[in-house]
Chains A and B, each alone.
Chain A
Amino acid sequence: MDWDEEYELLKAGRLPPPGNASSSRPRRPIDNDDDVQMAGPNVQPEDDDEGKFLGRPDAFPEDEPKDTPLDRLIRHWMNERHCPDILPAQEDLLAHLLDHLRRQSEAVQLLRSDPSTSEDEHMRIMLVQTEIERVKFIVRSYVRTRLFKIERYANFVRTNGEIQTRLTAAERDHALRHAKITDQHFVSSVLQGLPETQSHLDDTPLFVPPMITEPDKSRPVFVHALQRCPRITLPDGAKLEMDKGHISLMPYNIVEQLVARGEVEL
């Protein structure tokens, strides 16, 4: 899907922006005051220092989690890839980045068409274009992952209000239409020939998984703690407290809250 269409899709799904949109979202590349975003590593500095001295005296400087919008999107993208459930949509983050992409590509267009650009400029233009391609890839992959999960669980989305709060309006629309079309397809190709009792798509027979596929929250995931986490209870009753940098494998439902708060990444 062309990223322009993605942008339009997201824009259509977004709430109408306030009148002076540019004041509500700072346009600097490094953006630290969106407080709708997850808290992430923006915690009190003493936590980080404590972790560094007590847990890892020789922590590598490049391993510190960074907080630019792009880094945040990368983290959300990886979380979405590994998670069995659909995570809350990062509409603002995506909109901000798509905006930025658009401005960068316009600037590049301008500079390329201008005959007075020098050789050094070509270097910069080339680097900017490379980065544009990288960011486009990440955005595309993120949207595709979400789309795949939504289409797979379309029936579940239709009947469950809680998961709908995590989708954008455009995604909700798409899920409902997809569910409707697949149902119609099944009915017209197979089910209308079957007897009445067997021609429904939402049975819950015994001993077999229900017909509406639900996301499997007990699927295990690898968890990497970005900061010291509060105690969590494991299925066998033990308690676990994770330090910064701890890596562990556990069922998703245990860490669901931590992922939502941004304290761990998958």
Chain B
Amino acid sequence: MALPQSLRVSVTPPELELVASQQLVEIVPLIAMEKTAFISGAYGPLRPPNKAKVPLWMAVNLKLKKKCHIVAPEWLNVEFLQERVNLETTQPTFSHLPLRFAEIAKVILDVASNDLDNPDKIRSLLKDLREARQAKSRDGLKELDHSELSLPNLCSMEINEIRPYFVQAMNVLTQLVRNPVPDPLR
């Protein structure tokens, strides 16, 4: 019908990437460009070698045409991620990460891994982070009840992963509470 079946329950990762690509990143342009009015705002002028802030989709486009270098956001480096992995494995709560770190990290690693120092280590740290957080979400399922479940510091890709299952589970629990089945023995 109007919306294909695959999109009805939750958002797809490419769509999340689309939303995440609206965020601004810093680039070092290699070409000059005048200030241009886009729909989301006016960006530019680009004057190498000065840095500029542009949306991620624009940075990716320019990078693919070899017209800029992307500067990694302040959280995308080995020390920060290592610290977060340590926190994640030692504490039972989720550590504080940018809301869309998974999408932004994936996009930058795909396109601009030569602009990052030590991209392989970053990839493996991100993987560790993801696994640790997934284990915690699975534990969180135990606390699910019919009224509310707080999940601080979760990020959008993770929410999307657990969304269909948690929503359906909570739905069933709510229905059970709303229509308690009378005891058949009474």
B149, A82: Cβ atoms under 8 Å? no
* Cβ contact within 8 Å between B149 and A248: yes
A123 contacts B31, C-beta separation under 8 Å: yes
Structural contact, B163 and A70, CB atoms closer than 8 A: no
B10: chain A residues at CB < 8 Å are: 81-82
Counting residue pairs across A and B whose Cβ atoms lie within 8 Å, the total is 147
A191 to B: closest C-beta gap in Å: 22
Among A138, A144, A235, the residue within 8 A (CB) of B18 is A138
Whether B41 and A235, one on each chain, are in contact in the complex, defined by CB atoms closer than 8 angstroms, is no
Given contact pairs A101-B39, A134-B18, A218-B174, A81 touches B11 in the complex (Cβ within 8 A): yes
Known A-B contacts A127-B36, A250-B149; A147 and B2 likewise in contact (beta carbons under 8 Å): yes
Stretch at the interface among A39-47, A158-166, A197-205, A219-227: A219-227
What A residues does B177 contact at CB under 8 A?
235
Q: Which of A206-249 contact B (CB under 8 A)?
A: 218-222, 224, 234-236, 238, 240, 245-249
Q: B residues near A, CB below 8 A?
A: 1-3, 7-8, 10-11, 15, 18-19, 22-24, 31-34, 36-42, 57-58, 61-62, 65, 67, 73, 75, 96, 98-99, 144-154, 159, 163, 166-167, 170-171, 174, 177-178
- What are 26 A-B pairs at a CB distance below 8 A? A29-B39, A29-B40, A68-B40, A70-B39, A70-B40, A78-B19, A97-B39, A104-B39, A120-B34, A123-B65, A131-B39, A141-B15, A145-B3, A151-B2, A152-B1, A219-B167, A219-B171, A220-B167, A220-B170, A221-B167, A222-B159, A234-B148, A238-B147, A240-B148, A251-B147, A251-B170
